[in-house]
Amino acid sequence: MLTLYDSAVSGNAYKVRLILGHLGLPVKRIEMNVDDGSTRAPGFLEVNRNGKVPAIVLEDGTALSESDAILYYFAQGTPYWPEDRLERARVLQWMFFEQYSHEPSIAVVRHWVAHLGKTPQNEPALPARIAAGYRALDVMEDHLKASAYFVAGRYTIADIALYAYTHVAHEGGFDLGRYPAINAWLARVAGQPGHIHITD
């Protein structure tokens, strides 16, 4: 069976549970604490030398990390990964947008506000991260005004990648009420067959 090094507070780990849910693939989950250093302990570094969850171990013992690369691995040959070369590049464009322009603001603000609490270290950095988060949401809203999903007019791993932290952005204080197109898309994603909740 697949083994997922998981975290209940990580949207990145939730992405993996989402695609496995859609595909009906069972997985053994190992809950990791992302704040106490255990993802940087020697045992886990053998699974992911970069010391981050999620990481997944395949049935043959091969370990794979980086949430969006794991999504790609499982989406091969399924409707969640398009056939067309440009559409595939476009899925990746949105996934790299997610990891560079969205996650470091929206996910990090949520983690600081909802889980760690404000500290002398993170509080000075908060306004710039919040502004960057709203810029990312603005980019998404403009795209979703004209498109039901991010790529190819249908639900792909680009939507899974962006859904994970967008749907809990309010936990970091982001006002999603400003974004009607995002809200309509969040509802479409949550209505997909096999969808599971982040707390499931």
Q: Considering CB under 8 A, how many residues would be counted as binding its own copies?
A: 35
98: DSSP letter: I
89 vs 190, beta carbon nearer its own copies:
89
CA–CA dist 72, 46 (Å, integer): 22
Q: How far is the CB of 116 from its own copies (least distance, A)?
A: 15
Which run of H or of E encompasses 51?
none
Interaction between residue 159 and its own copies (CB under 8 A) = no
28 vs 49, beta carbon nearer its own copies:
49
Q: Is 187 exposed, middle or buried (0-12, 13-18, 19+ CB in 10 A)?
A: exposed
CA–CA dist 64, 55 (Å, integer): 6
128 vs 190, beta carbon nearer its own copies:
128
Q: Characterise 158 by phi-psi region: left (phi > 0), alpha (psi -120 to 50), beta (else).
A: alpha
Give 151's strand partners: 154
Among 8, 100, 187, 194, binds its own copies (CB under 8 A): 100
- Give residues 48-87 in contact with its own copies (rule: CB under 8 A): 49-50, 52, 58, 62, 64-70, 72-73, 76, 85-86
Q: Is the separation of the CB atoms in 174 and 1 below 8 Å?
A: no
CA–CA dist 53, 96 (Å, integer): 18
Which part of the chain contacts its own copies (CB under 8 A), choosing from 3-11, 22-30, 136-144, 182-190? Answer: 136-144
Among 1, 28, 118, 124, binds its own copies (CB under 8 A): 124
Among 8, 41, 89, 148, binds its own copies (CB under 8 A): 89
Among 31, 38, 96, 131, binds its own copies (CB under 8 A): 96
38 vs 197, beta carbon nearer its own copies:
38
Distances (CA, A) of 44 to 2, 7, 73: 16, 14, 21
- Token readout for 2 is 């697949």
| Interacting residues toward its own copies by CB under 8 A | 49-50, 52, 58, 62, 64-70, 72-73, 76, 85-86, 88-90, 92-93, 95-97, 99-101, 103-104, 124-125, 139, 142-143
